[in-house]
């Protein structure tokens, strides 16, 4: 990574201006509605991104830090990581704080999220001063790599920079600690927060659920000053994870009583609970509720949950009808239907379906 990313020196970071082939551009920040920047707002493909980049290069607008940072932001959502790194290395020197944070976010969401913390360390050695928007992507990196050491380093830097009192920074650190299995650290951070929002509460409840401490999760959940559908989904899915599907159904009934509208994730969890409990009538009512209440009629995750639910309720014939109507099947949906046939109905039908899956190009290695 060091050979690709050029880290500016302390002297470069202290400069307030850069050289450019078009000096007048540096004295006047271009508008987002500038004719050359406007296409960036509507780009939806990597090919279009390259066209925008070529235009900004030939027009010399790419020498302006603001225009370059806008292009980098778009690249973070459309381009592969190697292109983002290459573009960053050619930004006007020194890159601005927005560009640094954009690259950190791209690294944190990459297949190698630990690179974000390594890059952050390089930035600090070069004299870079982070802001409060620098730490959330670093926390995401720690959560995805499950690195306890990294999250403690990031937290220490947040304290040193005075960012540990900012709500969105604390929320991201709570999530990272929980993802690393350090829910005790997350609780200490939560208790010390001067201000908390709904995300703070949801993050800690989810942390307890992740480590299987359903009792602490429920205690915190009951004490929440307010709840949204995410709060309820965390607890319901936690009940399923801890093999308490009946408690999940009770929570869903309570959720309906207080007037919180379910979303697709809620319905998938309840469908799964019905399958585990063998409640075919309740499962059918949930199926009907989805058809009546959601515009999205074809949801692969929900349809796969239905296949699993009907199979476990010994209605493999209905499960097969649902399976046959799935427009784009994945390996999970194939496996659910094959297991339904083999475990709850006729094994020969399961073997025949497996042969069909292999014939059309799906392979199962587990």
How high is the pLDDT of residue 16? 30
Rounded to whole angstroms, how far apart are CA atoms 158 and 172? 11
How high is the pLDDT of residue 37? 81
- Transcribe 77-143 into DSSP letters: HHS-HHHHHHHHHTSSSSPPHHHHHHHHHHHHTSS-TTHHHHHHHHHHHTT----TTTHHHHHHHHH
Rounded to whole angstroms, how far apart are CA atoms 166 and 194? 9
Q: What is the DSSP letter of 63?
A: G
Assess contact for 5 and 99: CB atoms under 8 A. Answer: no
Assess contact for 309 and 275: CB atoms under 8 A. Answer: yes
Q: Is 0.85 surpassed by the pTM of this model? A: no
CA distances from 215 to 167, 189, 204, 283, 293 (A): 26, 20, 13, 27, 32
CA distances from 200 to 215, 298, 356 (A): 18, 33, 48
Per-residue pLDDT tens, the chain, 366 aa: give them: 443 344 444 444 343 333 333 444 445 666 666 777 878 888 889 998 898 888 888 888 888 888 888 889 889 989 999 999 999 988 887 888 999 999 999 999 999 999 999 999 998 998 889 999 999 999 999 999 999 999 999 999 999 999 998 999 999 999 999 999 999 999 999 999 999 999 999 999 999 999 999 999 999 999 999 999 999 999 999 999 999 999 999 999 999 999 999 999 999 999 999 999 999 999 999 999 999 999 887 899 999 999 999 999 999 999 999 999 999 999 999 999 999 999 998 999 999 999 999 988 876 554
Q: What is the pLDDT of residues 59-110, one digit of tens each?
A: 888 888 888 888 898 899 899 999 999 999 888 878 889 999 999 999 999 9
Q: What is the DSSP letter of 76?
A: H
How high is the pLDDT of residue 64? 82
Rounded to whole angstroms, how far apart are CA atoms 42 and 365? 41
Assess contact for 107 and 22: CB atoms under 8 A. Answer: no
Rounded to whole angstroms, how far apart are CA atoms 235 and 302? 19
Rounded to whole angstroms, how far apart are CA atoms 79 and 106? 10
Give me the residue spans of the domains in the chain: 298-366
Rounded to whole angstroms, how far apart are CA atoms 268 and 271? 5
How high is the pLDDT of residue 224? 96
Dmax of the chain from CA atoms? 76
Rounded to whole angstroms, how far apart are CA atoms 155 and 161? 10
Rounded to whole angstroms, how far apart are CA atoms 119 and 113? 10
Helix (H) or strand (E) holding 325: helix 316-325
Assess contact for 315 and 281: CB atoms under 8 A. Answer: no
How high is the pLDDT of residue 65? 83
């Amino acid at each position: 990574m060091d050979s690709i990313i050029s880290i500016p020196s302390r002297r470069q970071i202290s400069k307030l201006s850069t050289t450019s082939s078009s000096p007048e551009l540096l004295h006047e920040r271009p508008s987002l509605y500038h004719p050359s920047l406007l296409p960036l707002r509507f780009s939806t493909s990597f090919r279009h991104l390259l066209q925008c980049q070529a235009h900004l290069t030939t027009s010399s607008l790419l020498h302006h830090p603001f225009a370059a940072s806008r292009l980098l932001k778009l690249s973070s959502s459309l381009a592969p990581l190697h292109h983002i790194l290459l573009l960053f290395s050619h930004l006007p020197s020194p890159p601005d704080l927005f560009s640094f944070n954009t690259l950190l976010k791209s690294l944190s969401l990459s297949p190698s999220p630990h690179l974000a913390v390594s890059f952050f360390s390089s930035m600090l050695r070069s004299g870079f001063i982070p802001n409060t928007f620098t730490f959330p992507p670093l926390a995401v990196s720690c959560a995805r790599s499950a690195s306890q050491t990294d999250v403690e380093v990031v937290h220490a830097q947040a304290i040193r920079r005075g960012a540990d009192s900012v709500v969105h920074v604390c929320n991201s650190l709570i999530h990272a600690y929980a993802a690393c299995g350090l829910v005790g650290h997350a609780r200490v951070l939560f208790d010390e927060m001067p201000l908390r929002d709904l995300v703070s509460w949801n993050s800690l409840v989810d942390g307890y659920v992740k480590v299987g401490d359903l009792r602490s999760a429920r205690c915190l959940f009951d004490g929440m000053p307010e709840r949204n559908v995410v709060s309820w989904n965390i607890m319901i899915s936690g009940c399923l994870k801890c093999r308490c599907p009946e408690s999940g159904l009770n929570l869903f009934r309570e959720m309906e009583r207080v007037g919180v509208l379910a979303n697709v994730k809620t319905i998938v969890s309840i469908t799964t609970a019905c399958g585990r409990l063998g409640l075919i009538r309740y499962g059918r009512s949930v199926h009907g509720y989805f058809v009546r209440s959601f515009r999205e009629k074809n949801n692969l995750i929900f349809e796969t949950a239905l296949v699993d639910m009907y199979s476990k309720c010994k209605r493999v014939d209905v499960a097969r009808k649902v399976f046959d109507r799935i427009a784009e099947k994945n390996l999970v949906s194939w496996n659910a239907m094959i297991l339904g046939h083999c475990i709850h109905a006729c094994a020969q039908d399961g073997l025949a379906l497996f042969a069909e899956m292999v014939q059309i190009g799906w392979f199962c290695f587990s």
